Structures are given as structure tokens and as C-alpha cells.
Amino acid sequence: GAVVSQHPSWVICKSGTSVKIECRSLDFQATTMFWYRQFPKQSLMLMATSNEGSKATYEQGVEKDKFLINHASLTLSTLTVTSAHPEDSSFYICSARDLRGSNTGELFFGEGSRLTVL
Amino acid sequence: AQSVTQLGSHVSVSEGALVLLRCNYSSSVPPYLFWYVQYPNQGLQLLLKYTSAATLVKGINGFEAEFKKSETSFHLTKPSAHMSDAAEYFCAVSDGFNKFYFGSGTKLNVKP
């Protein structure tokens, strides 16, 4: 299957700082990527849909000024958590669709990034 | 609108026993259905998918799922559990090219 890679896998930062998480599609081009947040022992919550070359679409209740998304190329989307606070600590996962060939649009997920804000 | 319900947040089976993880969906259009597995501190890996072809879908690691439209179900099964199957499993529904909706997840524990 297609490969989606996230970096960093783990990040610890001080409260008030900003953290950038990268999501790359390694062997395919992704015009759309998705960012999810997963709280402990819970399912994935869709935060936003990242569109290459245009503004991201945020889900209701997600602060777009807090979670900045940039999708500057067909293989890279970034999520920046601005002025992070302890309540932003979570597991962030990106995903992308590979629509080549016989793929029917299932999501391929990155490895996830665990953010801990002190 | 689509939604997914996974019955049982925790399932425990003995090694070698049948695994059955339940998933019911609601969808206003013919759905695409998926099962993903997540190991601790990792992303999700696709186990199998239903996309309106055969109703019995075989996936990786010996898992399979059957799409039953009359029951709006897509339960995941494996005849014989292995210790390495211990993980969290998510059922998801999509209308094909828009958003995915995930169930709340079922954590599978395999006892020796």
C-alpha cells in the first residue's frame, strides 16, 4: 500500500511554544490530506481537511488559528500547534488517500505524532 | 450522513479462539466500509475494505469481514486468535471520496 510518513514521532515542548508536525506521502501525490486527533482510549477525531494549494477546511469546534495547516505541495502537509498548552497534549495522526490504479480511496495513515506540552 | 457503532470497547479471547468484533453502520448512500488496526503509539493500518464487490472480504493476517446490508453490519472475524492480534481495531465508513467516520474502537486482548 501507499506510504504516509509523519515527523516527529514524539515531541515535548514548553507551554506557550509552537510545534510543527509534518506529514508526507512518500510514493504518491495527495491533493488532500486529513489531520486527526486521538485522545487516550478514544477514537480518532477529524480536525481538518488539508487541500493542496488552498485553505484547509476545519471541523466544527477546531480553532483554525490554534491549529495552522499548510499544504504547500502534493506530498507535504504540516500542522502547527501554536502557543501550545497542556490541554493540546495528544496523539496527532495524518492520513491521505491514494487514488492511483485499483485503490478505492482508503486512507493511509502516518505513524502518528505524540505531543506532550509541559 | 454516515456513522459507525462498535459494540464492545474491550474484547478478550484466548489464543486459538474465534475473534468476533462487531460493527454496525448507518449510511444514506452505498457505503465503503473499512477495518483498521492500531498498535500502541502507531498510526492505523488497513486490515480490509468493502467497496461493493464481494460481500465477504478477506484481509491481512487472516482476518475477514462480511457485509450484510439487511443487518447494516460489517463484523470482523478471525478463526483463531494469535497473541500478535492484540491491538485496537477501528471500523470506518465512507461514501467513497469524502470524510471517513470512525467507530469508537474495540481493544482486543488475547490471553495465552
CA distance B87 to B20: 14
Report how far residue B7's alpha carbon sits from residue B21's, in angstroms, rounded to the nearest whole number.
Answer: 8
pLDDT at A106 over 80: no
Residue B56 has pLDDT above 80, yes or no: yes
The answer to whether the CB atoms of A114 and B34 lie below 8 A apart is no
Give the pLDDT score at B40: 84
Distance CA A12, CA A116 (A): 5
Residue B67: the pLDDT is 93
Cross-strand pairs, A3? none
Q: What span, in angstroms and rounded, lies between the C-alpha atoms of A77 and A50?
A: 7
Record: contact B34-A43, CB cut-off 8 A: no
In this prediction, residues B78-99 reach a mean pLDDT of: 88
CB A21 within 8 A of CB A113: yes
From chain A, the residues in CB contact with B34 under 8 A are 106-107
Find chain B residues with C-beta within 8 A of A98's C-beta: none
Q: How far apart are CA B44 and CA A108, in angstroms?
A: 8
**Confidence at B51, pLDDT banded by 50, 70, 90:** confident
pLDDT digits (tens, 9 = 90+) for A85-100: 999 999 999 998 876 6
From the list A44, A21, A43, A25, the residue with the least C-alpha distance to A33 is A25
The pLDDT of residue A102: 52
Percent residues over pLDDT 70 in chain B: 96
Percentage of residues of chain B with pLDDT beyond 90: 63
Tell me how many residue pairs between chain A and chain B have CB atoms under 8 A apart.
Answer: 54
CA B85 and chain centroid, separation? 13
